[in-house]
Structure 1
Amino acid sequence: MSSKPCCSHFEKRPVAIVGIAADLPSGTHSEHNLDYRDFFNFLLNKNEAHEEIPKERPYVESSTTKAYEQLSAMRGTFLKDIDSFDHVEFGISAEEARGMALSTKKLLEASFLALLDAGIDYRGRNVGWYASGTAHDVFSISDTDEQEPRGAFASIPCICDEISRHLDLRGPCVPIDASCNSSLTALHLAVQALRAGECGAAVVAGCRLHPRMTDFLQRSPGPFAIPGTRDKIFEAESEEFALGEGTVAIVLKPYDDAIRDGDYIYGNILGTGINASGSAFDGEDHISVRVDAVRRAYDGIDCQPQDVDYVERHGTGTASGHPNETDWIGQVFGRDSELLIGSVAGNIGHLGNAAFLASLCKVCAILEGGVVPPTLNLANRDPAVQWENYKLRVPREPTSIKARSPSGKLTISMSSSGIGGTNGHVVVQSASAQGADPMDVQATHHPTLLMAGGLTSRSAGAIAGALNKLAASHPDQSAAFSTISGRCTRQMAWRTFTVTHPEKQASPRFLTPVLSARVKPPVVFVFPGQGPQHINMGRQLAKRFPIFYNTIAELDECHRNVTGGSLVEQVGLFSDSVTAQALPPVWSVSVIFPSMVMVQIALFELLRSLGLRPNVLVGHSAGETSLLYASGAGPKAMAMEIAITQGRAVAAVEQANGAMAALGCNAADGRAIIHLACSAEERGTLDLAGFNAPDAIAISGHAHLVDKAVAIAASRGIFARRLQTGVAVHSALMELCQDEYRTQLANVFARYPGDHNPVITTYSTATGTLLERFTPDYFWRNFRDPVQFTQAFTSIVQAYPNAAHVEISPHPVLSPYMQQMGAPTVTCPMRRCRQPDAYQEETDLLTCLGHLVVAGNNDINFHALNGQNGITRTIAFPRYPFAKGLDASLPPSPPESPRDELKGVIMQSLNVDPGQFRDDAPLTSYGLDSLSAGRLAFTLRPFLTISSMELLGSISLTDIQHRIDVEKRVQTEGSPKVSSKVTYFQWDGVHKPGQTVLRLVDNGETPLIVIHGASGSPLPFVAIQEKFNSSLWALQTTPETPLYPLEAFCRHYYEQIKLAQPEGPYRLGAFCASTIMATMIAKMMEDNGDQVAQLCYIDHSPLLWVSPLIAPDEQAMELRSAGPDMIRRLLASMLALYRADPSPSRHRAAQDWQDAADGLEAPEHVKGWWNTFTNLHVGVYEFIFSLLPEGQQPTIPALQEALLQWMRSVKAPMTVFVALKGYIAFIAEERRAGWEQYGIERVSPDAQIITVTGGHFQVLESPEFIETAQAGWTA
């Protein structure tokens, strides 16, 4: 049998190093160990880590006198804090952590960090682990204790088992023990496994620790050097070497895969070779064996030993081996020109089974920068080496090198050997030039998506904070940060994100980290029908993403070929065409259907190009046309032709005066309403058109019957709104076009023959079940029969309970229904805005992707998203925030004293990390503001009564505890406790479910009864109750409060007030958006003969509903109600106030509101507020429109005059508080004239106008409000 190694070209394909993590000794030069980047700077600066054995090592002080004398004369290189380990971050119990070997902990941490650096999705994947550690260390520090849970946890094989278990690696898991050659052997086996396809990526790691005294005291009788002071690899008469400690882990991938995935490549491994010396332990035979390892490494690669640019030596550890190793390197690699040779051992000593990987760190840094660091401890070259003969030179200063290879790539050879006779060699080459080469887009001046993640919520939050600072200080690197952070986050259990804006200087706020799904959730794409279309849809995405633009152009060309006209050029869709014809408020279906197919398919193609591919598809009504292409059942052109055909055929129905409406009721109630609307004297058609959710249906038919049904529903308190369409699809009116529809659809299918079966799981909303085939007959049923969205989507939720749902639409219209039916994650990548900024669609797309990553999707291609082919590492990324040495992971102990309980309550209320809280620090230093102070005051009621104003002073936990102690002492000494003159509202024991009137301060006087804004929450008034001496009541919505119509809402409040205070006079106050409700309640009281002595408007006025701030838009004028656009504008105006306020609490609340409005995850109470907000504003505008004389066309002046006349019918004296930085500040200056007092002077010239300095939310806290609201009403 031949002894020559056998290799194939396939086996020698390059393997890329894509991740590195190092923990190497720094000696006295730093308080911390060295990571990869620090290590190379350490080498360039000619530093060395040799030092005395640290006295913290347990064997130093416990050693005998003789041993201590020997130890004190020795030096080595040592890691700091080798016993520190953040076991909580890895989900390891303290008990289990105590039983793990020290090197197991180090290897776990290093492997995790290397995988993090690589940015690959490794959990549950075919990733191998090849490594070596010192498993015996846990037994050697002290005698074993039979009670300690060590067992197999510290055995050599179980080091691998522990690592693979905690990192969830599913590839080969191989422990290596080849002494000093262990990590090179591990590398060789990993490379072979990758080339053979046994795993897709591999971690190679090594760890060397010296927890045993015998490591230093051993004396070998053979030819080995002894542990001494430092390594002098090339020095004459070198008889010693320094033991060292260190941990290194690297991640390997096949080079082609690394290029495909856009990985950062530190270097490529071209060849590896290992063998054993057998009986040739020393001398010429031993040299020939080591040379054979070199030949094995070079066999089959396109490179020769003479082509290398540098050789990194291992250092044999033998007195005679040093010159022998250098000589045989000269023989093999020698050439006519100079050859650089060096070793890292002079800097960090001999790291045993981690030595090769430490050298590889140095080599990778050389490949990156083209500079060879100096080799240390070389005063006199060893004369036994033939330096001049082989033209060898050891650099003693940083030395630049250039590649000998025509490719321009540096090539480096590395040798290694083990004390037991194993040998190895590796050939490494630099990668091609990498960087952020532009692909289709350049993200520098666009919004970017920043992800942050950690193994725990704490670390995810810490990374988010660090990334925020980094992005703010380097805005030009936002695209690189987005790519790196996105790749890293997909490994993490806890995730969060934010979207940066290129024109906003303020740092964006990351959302609160959430626990992501361990297994990637299925993705469901949902395609809605007509309704979400708008003139601006897709314009920004077409400018930013070529694939979106190209898809639009392709489909528009199809439209031109079929119809002779272009939607882009003639209508102005997806472009800024100035020659386009203006569209009417209600578009023709000949425009709606094709334009929706265009935007949906373009969005589908864009998401696919970014790595997001659906597992399940479902369409709603006309949305199933786009589904034909998305499901793989037909080409894009076919879907476009079907949409055009549908628009042509259904045009006949447009002449039938049809309409559609959405009702917030179940099917039974809907049928009852239809029955009432279709009385005997009424002629026409009215049908149930769709089942959108258990309590949401659609009706369709003749317009006069639809309007009548809407009125009937509204009178019953049922949400009802006419839709923006003139075609009554899904009704009997469709029979008018059946023959034409079927004929033209059959012609389209004839032009595109085939089975047209979906290749992706697709649900039908025509049948409510799985869709097997698209046919002309199916598309007729799709338009004629009721939409079975409830049945289809319920089936999806049952089959895919953890799925993430994406609404493929220019605006979310089905998202609320999906959430109602139990979808855990719902998002939409586009949103309609009345006045979108220049980056609105990009921001919405990135927000959608962020939510999907947080939900557990790891497929987003951040390279494609940010227009990069690779990764740049010009700026160091934040280090992973391990909490080493802390026991924060342990479950909190129960409070040992009332002070501990008090402290816990305060920290929880302020959301402060226990490690950052100081008892003597003012609570305001932890972000306490007026809003949170009011809440904290209530939280502290079990301990003491304290006002929010006192909390906003310089009071600390120590001060609060002192007050509690004084009060207890006074009570103990028998002093009578003075009862408070004022009875305050307390949540505990006073607030009851269904309680509408909250008596915040009750002095028995005529109370000021204040009404919340449009959210239904009394919290703003709760926070100020301690400032009142007179009585203060607040109203709040409850489950029993009717939210629609407005008269029913106000009547409910009126009745509750009359129950609480049967007789007048009454005093009413209205904060923000409740002013029109307070006015209506005042009118009800006056109509009942009661006196309203005071009507306060707090930074608002009913007239603001028709002011330049938020005047009704065209959609509202058409609907005579607040349409979806109007609701969004109203929300935007409110959130602008929240975000302008300095309170972090309100900033968080604003984000929660936005999430609730977008159909995303939000606190349950915020979802309730959003529901109240929406219904009340629909009611408000319907009421305002109802004030117009019959037959009068709605205009802004007409609405203003009608509202003025109604307000003048109220006799109550009016007081208005105007905040200079409140709503008035959000009216453009050129339109502000006449609205400085919110128009109240036009209603009542005698009204009291009070100006307050500050913002909207500061009005309630202002002395002007407190004093005026109480004037004349104190006890």
Structure 2
Amino acid sequence: MNSNEVLQWLRIEIALLVDRKEEEIDIHEPFSSYGLDSAKTMLLSGELGAVLNMPVSPTLFWDYPSIYELCGYLRRDEAHKWKQETASSREVPNQRDPIAIIGIGCRFPNVSGSGEFWELLLQGLDAVSDYPAEREKLGEGKVDRQGGYLNQIDGFDYPFFSLSYREAIRMDPQQRLLLEVAWEALMDAGISPESLANTRSGVFIGISNSDYGRRELEAADELHIHSVVGSALCIAANRLSYFLGLQGPSMAIDTACSSSLVAVHQACCSIWSGESQQAIAGGVNVILSNAVTSSLSKAGMLAADDRCKTFDIRADGYVRGEGCGIVILKPLTRALADGDEVYAVIPGSAVNQDGRSNGITAPNQSAQEKLLRSAYANAGIQPCQLGYIEAHGTGTYLGDPIEVKALGQVLAQECGRTDTVFLGSVKSNIGHLESAAGIAGLIKTALIMKHGIIPSSLHFQKWNPEIPHESFPFVVPTQCADLRSGKEVYAGVSSFGFGGTNAHIVLGRPPHRLPEQSESAPFLFTLSAARKEGLSALAQTYADWLKHVSQPDLPSICSTLLQGRKHHEHRLAIAASSKESLMKALQDEVSAPDISLPWKSYGHVLSNPPQMVYYFPAHDMSDADAGLEEITGDALFQQAYFVVSQLYRQLVPESFAQSHGDWQTFAKQYAHAEMLRHWGIQPVSCMGEGVGSITALVVEGQLSLPQAIERLVRQDYDASVKPEAEKTRGKVVVCISSAPVWMSQKEDSIIVCNGSSMIGKLQLQCQLFVKGLYVPESSERRKVSHMLPGYPWNHQSCWKTAGNHSGESNGITCFC
């Protein structure tokens, strides 16, 4: 059997074993997701060994935990043993692990974030408008044509990125956009940026315009090193690597209009080669000068009505636009293992050049056909598997026909297909974003693959007569349409540079995810921001967002917020049991941000979190019912409690044990400490009185459990101990099981740990989180990170004009 036959055999056999349909078995999903336990694995390995006529160890199903990975191993092992595969067959491109798009950040005309962008596309909105009047106040003059423009281009949260105002105003706004949008993309991926530091993470940025930089460098009387760095195109990528501490390749790419799609292609190649573990890729474009626009207009390249009428008989040019888009890329196998949510997968891509076409800026149909064939071969798919094409589609009278003819030759005539292929172009919504055009098309297509819906393409009424549409099965959607069903349906994204560099990327559907089982247990919801006002704004944003989400997967969302975010100094933690209770607590935070309640904690974390001291009191103050709930609430607590109880019954006569209940207080205190230790929380010292003095000695390692029980029997412990003030000054005191009589519950330095029930645990975790003492290292829960509300930037105007060369502007004093 060859590797493809083995793959198909495994899909059939696993489907039979777990009583599923063959088409439901995803070759990239872990075996465990289908309930393939050890017994079934043993059976499967034996049958596979018989089929292959070779021993197959059951452990291989854990070493290579998916059908795709196991087949890859068997293929390599077979080549090593029998040398039957040629070098070319071992390097078939479609055997590479596809690249997963796990996070998206974007700032496009009238939208911020993938959620808003998707709504704009679904509603068929036109974001083209007049040049923002606010820019004239910034001293930038006026661009005399409509376009896809960004609002408040001068705004930037420079303190968040540890930059001075003096440097920020000399930075090209494209660099500022990249910093914020890349951060948003990492948040959307559920990745804490701190986790990428010192890793082989690559940065690939498409950028070609430098209106701000040219003007800044021309001001020779005020030239500053920040001006040189702030205007260099390479720094657009390098600054991201520097800020995040990344050690993979970092490069700016300029191929004009195809820059950002070429950047994504290079990022994928870097991952496939092993040069990068994961990558940040995208592009940016900002228009601040009328010079280029005027030149393009005189050359007849811009549409008279400033609209991209892609594929239409009225096509007469394009409209300029600006924006920034970023995607986070990771090998699919790693993404699945990390529990990442996936927008779409990239199985292959290609880049080529027009060569000596009819003019350096003229497209070349033959080159575009070769590009498409190369991309589909690299992806390991057939052209007939394409269901949607996001075209370059600028809306020029001759450029559009050349592109459609190339597509028709490869997708229709060469494979004889007759089923519908949808063609679209995001340029009809937001304009031609030039160096950011490709990433805008890629993000749109990734959203199509995720949701299975194709938005309408605007301004299309009648086919351009130069396009032989009768010969091709192409349809331009004028209203939303469904993407053809099936996992084996793909989409292609094209982007062509006016210098002749072409790029095409293939996108596939995200892997099927089994639905999470609904849970009614309470959950820990956490938010943080670098400033207090930002935390309240973020709480309000989430409260508003929850109103429009009917059935949010709150446990998974909470897991993502806790483990997939950087936790800033101003923190909010909520122990909630439902969407309604969470919304109420968020509104409480907005109206009374400084008040902590049993279910809501607010805190300000210092750069160095405080040390912790455990205090164990003499008696457990909880009543019998609460005690029973504690013992059965947490698995680790329960295990530690019963270890003590069983040991106590072995060492102490039953009649004596029944008449002395101190061991129960000790067992609860010890079990609480073990639960905290499992959370990664360690005290610098322990104190106690009465029974608690014995618990303190055990937790500090000065007594073993048998020794502690002997002392409990003899009642050999301190009757009353009041800790000295210097031992607790500046530290957080965690009072295990009940509060001490010698301290006020209102003091900020007191945390009472008096329950291991689910709600008791969450209330405790709330208090620990807001003091910077608790963030779990890992969780098995999968992420639900896409399209959650973004970070609340504190934008301040940062603009270098003739009136603010001194480093002060608008009342803001710079700091260096």
Counterpart pick for 1:325 among 392, 403, 417: 403
Q: Counterparts in 2 of 1:339-488, with a 5 A limit?
A: 339-405=421-487, 411-434=490-513, 437-438=516-517, 442=519, 444=520, 446=522, 448-467=523-542, 477=552, 479=555, 482-487=558-563
Q: Counterparts in 2 of 1:980-1129, with a 5 A limit?
A: none
Q: 1:75 to 1:166 in 2, by over 3 A?
A: same
Q: Is contact 1:153–1:162 with CA below 8 Å preserved after alignment?
A: no
Q: CA deviation at 1:258?
A: 3.1
**Residue 846 (structure 1) aligns with:** 765
| 3-state SS of 1:241 partner | coil
Q: CA deviation at 1:246?
A: 1.6
Q: Which amino acid aligns with 1:842?
A: K
Q: Distance in 1 between matches of 2:707 and 2:418?
A: 80
Q: Is contact 2:393–2:427 with CA below 8 Å preserved after alignment?
A: yes
**Residue 213 (structure 1) aligns with:** 290
Q: Distance in 2 between matches of 1:91 and 1:61?
A: 27
The Cα RMSD (Å) is: 5.0
Q: Counterparts in 2 of 1:129-168, with a 5 A limit?
A: 129-134=203-208, 136-141=210-215, 143-149=218-224, 150-168=227-245
Q: Is contact 1:498–1:850 with CA below 8 Å preserved after alignment?
A: no
Q: Distance in 2 between matches of 1:105 and 1:646?
A: 62
**Residue 80 (structure 1) aligns with:** 151
Q: Distance in 1 between matches of 2:249 and 2:733?
A: 37
| 3-state SS of 1:182 partner | helix
**Residue 23 (structure 1) aligns with:** 107
**Residue 114 (structure 1) aligns with:** 185
Q: Distance in 1 between matches of 2:138 and 2:681?
A: 60
Deviations 1:1032-1088 (A, max 9, x none): xxxxxxxxxxxxxxxxxxxxxxxxxxxxxxxxxxxxxxxxxxxxxxxxxxxxxxxxx
Q: Distance in 1 between matches of 2:378 and 2:649?
A: 57
Q: Is contact 1:272–1:297 with CA below 8 Å preserved after alignment?
A: yes
Q: Distance in 2 between matches of 1:343 and 1:842?
A: 51
- Is 1:98 the counterpart of 2:169 in the alignment? yes
Q: Counterparts in 2 of 1:768-779, with a 5 A limit?
A: none
Q: Distance in 2 between matches of 1:148 and 1:350?
A: 33
Q: Distance in 1 between matches of 2:189 and 2:147?
A: 31
Counterpart pick for 1:172 among 234, 249, 252: 249
Q: CA deviation at 1:101?
A: 0.9
Q: CA deviation at 1:302?
A: 5.2
Q: 1:452 to 1:876 in 2, by over 3 A?
A: closer
Q: Distance in 1 between matches of 2:102 and 2:758?
A: 34
Unaligned runs of 5+ in 1: 27-32, 572-580, 632-638, 667-692, 697-796, 895-1275
Q: 1:421 to 1:140 in 2, by over 3 A?
A: same
Deviations 1:536-592 (A, max 9, x none): 67754665555655x369848965996799xxxx99xxxxxxxxx9966x6255x56
Q: Distance in 2 between matches of 1:394 and 1:827?
A: 65
- Is 1:653 the counterpart of 2:731 in the alignment? no
**Residue 337 (structure 1) aligns with:** 419
Unaligned runs of 5+ in 2: 1-87, 596-601, 688-692, 800-806
Q: CA deviation at 1:183?
A: 0.8
| 3-state SS of 1:240 partner | coil
Q: Distance in 2 between matches of 1:532 and 1:262?
A: 41
Q: CA deviation at 1:100?
A: 1.0
Q: Comparing both chains, which one has the higher relative contact order based on Cα–Cα distances under 8 Å and sequence gaps of 6 or more?
A: 2
| 3-state SS of 1:309 partner | strand
**Residue 267 (structure 1) aligns with:** 344
Q: Which amino acid aligns with 1:24?
A: F
> Rg bigger for which structure?
1
Counterpart pick for 2:784 among 850, 871, 877: 871
Q: Distance in 1 between matches of 2:347 and 2:621?
A: 55
Q: Is contact 1:529–1:622 with CA below 8 Å preserved after alignment?
A: no
Q: CA deviation at 1:351?
A: 1.0
| 3-state SS of 1:20 partner | strand
Q: CA deviation at 1:432?
A: 3.3
Q: CA deviation at 1:840?
A: 5.3
Q: Is contact 2:131–2:147 with CA below 8 Å preserved after alignment?
A: yes
Q: Which amino acid aligns with 2:495?
A: S
Q: 1:392 to 1:545 in 2, by over 3 A?
A: farther
Counterpart pick for 2:322 among 245, 249, 263: 245
Q: CA deviation at 1:372?
A: 0.7
Q: 1:491 to 1:9 in 2, by over 3 A?
A: farther
Counterpart pick for 2:753 among 820, 824, 830: 830
| 3-state SS of 1:437 partner | coil
Q: Distance in 2 between matches of 1:25 and 1:452?
A: 28
Q: 1:16 to 1:438 in 2, by over 3 A?
A: same
Q: Distance in 1 between matches of 2:459 and 2:694?
A: 79
Q: 1:623 to 1:49 in 2, by over 3 A?
A: same
- Is 1:880 the counterpart of 2:792 in the alignment? yes
**Residue 388 (structure 2) aligns with:** 310
Q: Distance in 1 between matches of 2:642 and 2:515?
A: 29
Q: Distance in 2 between matches of 1:525 and 1:263?
A: 37
| 3-state SS of 1:268 partner | strand
Q: Which amino acid aligns with 1:883?
A: H
Q: Is contact 1:201–1:253 with CA below 8 Å preserved after alignment?
A: yes
Q: CA deviation at 1:154?
A: 0.9
Q: Which amino acid aligns with 2:661?
A: W
Q: Is contact 2:131–2:146 with CA below 8 Å preserved after alignment?
A: yes
Q: Counterparts in 2 of 1:901-920, with a 5 A limit?
A: none
Deviations 1:400-458 (A, max 9, x none): 1232336xxx522112221122121212222235587138xx2x452x33322223333
Q: Distance in 2 between matches of 1:870 and 1:828?
A: 30
Counterpart pick for 1:490 among 528, 551, 566: 566
**Residue 39 (structure 1) aligns with:** 117
Q: 1:543 to 1:598 in 2, by over 3 A?
A: closer
Deviations 1:14-67 (A, max 9, x none): 3222222222224xxxxxx4543232332233332334445555599998xxxx
Q: Distance in 1 between matches of 2:364 and 2:685?
A: 66
Q: CA deviation at 1:815?
A: 13
Q: 1:539 to 1:561 in 2, by over 3 A?
A: closer
What's the TM-score, normalizing by structure 1?
Answer: 0.47
Deviations 1:1000-1029 (A, max 9, x none): xxxxxxxxxxxxxxxxxxxxxxxxxxxxxx
**Residue 182 (structure 1) aligns with:** 259
**Residue 1270 (structure 1) aligns with:** none
Q: Which amino acid aligns with 2:568?
A: M
Q: Distance in 2 between matches of 1:394 and 1:841?
A: 57
Q: 1:62 to 1:604 in 2, by over 3 A?
A: closer
Q: Is contact 1:180–1:417 with CA below 8 Å preserved after alignment?
A: yes
| 3-state SS of 2:326 partner | strand
Q: Is contact 2:617–2:738 with CA below 8 Å preserved after alignment?
A: no
Q: Counterparts in 2 of 1:520-539, with a 5 A limit?
A: 539=628
Q: Which amino acid aligns with 2:183?
A: F
Q: CA deviation at 1:147?
A: 1.5
Q: 1:330 to 1:171 in 2, by over 3 A?
A: same
Q: Counterparts in 2 of 1:930-1009, with a 5 A limit?
A: none
Q: Which amino acid aligns with 1:880?
A: P
Q: Is contact 1:48–1:348 with CA below 8 Å preserved after alignment?
A: yes
